Amino acid sequence: MLIDFLYELRAKKVPVSTHEWLALMEAMALGLHESSLDGFYHLCRTICVKDIALYDAYDEAFLAYFKDVHVSSLELTKQLQEWMLDPKMLEQLTAEQREMLKDLDLEGLRKKFEERLKQQKERHDGGNRWIGTGGTSPFGTNGRNPTGMRVGGGGGRSAMAVAGERLFKEYRKDIVLDVRQIDVALRNLRRLGREGAVEELDMDETIEQTGRNAGELEVVFRPPRRNRVKVLLLMDVGGSMDPHAELVSRMFTAASRSGRFAKFRSYYFHNCVYNSVYEDAAFRKPVQVADLLATSDRDEKLVVLGDALMHPAELLDPGGSMYLYSQNRASGIEWLRRLGHHFRSSAWLNPEPERFWSGTTIEVIASAIPMWPLTLDGLNHAVKYLVRGGEKPRVGDPSKWVKGISGY
């Protein structure tokens, strides 16, 4: 039965709820699927799938479940006929129609269709006998007959063909969208202040002023509260970050929502920050870090996303950049320290699991910029630190294995 299709969908990670499934059943009972597989394809997608990113998974599930039906689509139609014979529907039909329903098996229907096609000489709209449009005859298109046959028109291509094309593949994200979770964590990253146009009634002040005015009404307005936090986001992309690309994009999606922060800027870097960061992930539009620091308020919150994993020389030596054409005079760690010093509060979020941190460049970088793992917990701690300050997390002791690190 169809219930298996529900589980097929859920197995393909399309989050269909009971709520939606019941709505689909209700819709089918009303005949909204037009007794056809095509109709069902669109109906089910309209009701159960709410994100274009999931359309491809839906197509997959549809193909998997209905592939046998494709060969002989009659089986489903039969199932649907059983639906149609539901007594609730019958109540509305006249005795005549009921009689008709009984003898409408598909074989007979097809035969009748052929017969009638022979007799019919012209276009026919409305009515209940001829092949045409908008009538209650069992044959035709855009009409209403519970067990009729659809003849051309309408949908155009069959659902199986549409599903088979998998048109929505490129929209697929294949991630359990946790943007909302990050969203909720980021909501705490705020410092509210009253700024901008005065548009909110200040009740307390109005009463106060009216009292001073000896009862003469004095209405006082004030600006609504807005988030004043400014955020600078730096993201490591490419190379060892590839496995974490999705997590980073989720974080970016949540952080960049319009109106979340008073000011939000984001830049990309590869491996480690040297002289410049980039406006685009393809590293075509460089921005000098020195310029960036000059135009950044010290109150801005610096958030870095990266795995902080590299060869020690890339971090510690001048000229350690992987790119020959951008030789850096100051070492990577020097640049990171400059960033860490410039901003009053900064946080590094690392998607690498904490157990792999020890004995790597991660420890060195964590000594320059306070670091937390990019988990919900780590994110919450980082946000708390950015807003209220407090203890920096202690991450290992790099001086044990890198000379010249102690003292930072």
Partner 1 sequence: MEVVEYFDQFKGTETYIASEELKHAVNVAVALGRPLLLRGEPGTGKTLLAENLARALEMPLVRWHVKSTTKARDGLYIYDTVARLYDSRFGGDVNDIAKYIKLGPLGEALSAPSRVVLLIDEIDKADIEFPNDLLHELDAMRFKIDETGREVVAKERPVVVITSNNEKELPDAFLRRCVFHYIQFPDRELMAEIVKVHHPDITDRVLDNALEMFFSLRSTPKLRKKPSTSELIDWILALKKAGIDLAKVGHGIPFLGTLLKTEADVELVQKRAKA
**Amino acid type, 276:** S
* Residue 37: closest CA among 135, 214, 220, 160: 160
Q: Which is nearer to partner 1, 154 or 319 (CB)?
A: 154
Map residue 8 onto helix, strand or coil.
helix
Taking the C-alpha atoms of residue 369 and residue 269, their distance in angstroms, rounded to an integer, is 16
CB of 19 to partner 1, least distance (A): 5
Pairing label, strands 221-222, 225-227? unpaired
CB of 341 to partner 1, least distance (A): 35
Q: Which is nearer to partner 1, 11 or 52 (CB)?
A: 52
CB of 53 to partner 1, least distance (A): 10
Q: Which is nearer to partner 1, 112 or 226 (CB)?
A: 226
CB of 49 to partner 1, least distance (A): 7
Angle at 98 between CA 93 and CA 100, to 5 degrees: 125
Q: Which is nearer to partner 1, 159 or 362 (CB)?
A: 159
CB of 95 to partner 1, least distance (A): 18
Q: Which is nearer to partner 1, 17 or 327 (CB)?
A: 17
On whether the CB atoms of residues 218 and 209 are closer than 8 A, the answer is yes
Alpha-carbon distance values, 360 to 245, 321, 366 (Å): 21, 18, 11
* Residue 303: closest CA among 196, 227, 385: 385
Percent of the chain that is helix, strand, coil (3-state, to 5):
45, 15, 40
**Amino acid type, 93:** L
Angle at which helices 74-84 and 18-29 pack, to 10 degrees?
A: 80
Distance spanning both ends of the chain, measured CA to CA:
67
CB of 210 to partner 1, least distance (A): 9
Q: Give me the sign of the Cα torsion angle 207, 211, 212, 215.
A: positive
CB of 150 to partner 1, least distance (A): 13
On whether the CB atoms of residues 79 and 36 are closer than 8 A, the answer is no
Which residues form the interface with partner 1 (CB under 8 A)? 15, 17, 19-20, 23, 26-27, 30-32, 39, 42-43, 46-47, 49-52, 55, 88, 92, 142, 144, 154-156, 177, 179-180, 183, 201, 206, 216-217, 219, 224, 253, 257-259
CB of 319 to partner 1, least distance (A): 33
Q: Which is nearer to partner 1, 33 or 381 (CB)?
A: 33
CB of 1 to partner 1, least distance (A): 22
Taking the C-alpha atoms of residue 25 and residue 18, their distance in angstroms, rounded to an integer, is 10
Q: Which is nearer to partner 1, 173 or 342 (CB)?
A: 173
Q: Which is nearer to partner 1, 26 or 115 (CB)?
A: 26
Q: Which is nearer to partner 1, 207 or 290 (CB)?
A: 207
Nearby residues of 284 by Cβ (< 8 Å), 6 or more positions away: 278
Residue 152: exposed, middle, or buried by beta-carbon count in 10 A (0-12, 13-18, 19+)? exposed
Task: Please give the DSSP secondary-structure letter assigned to residue 50.
Answer: -
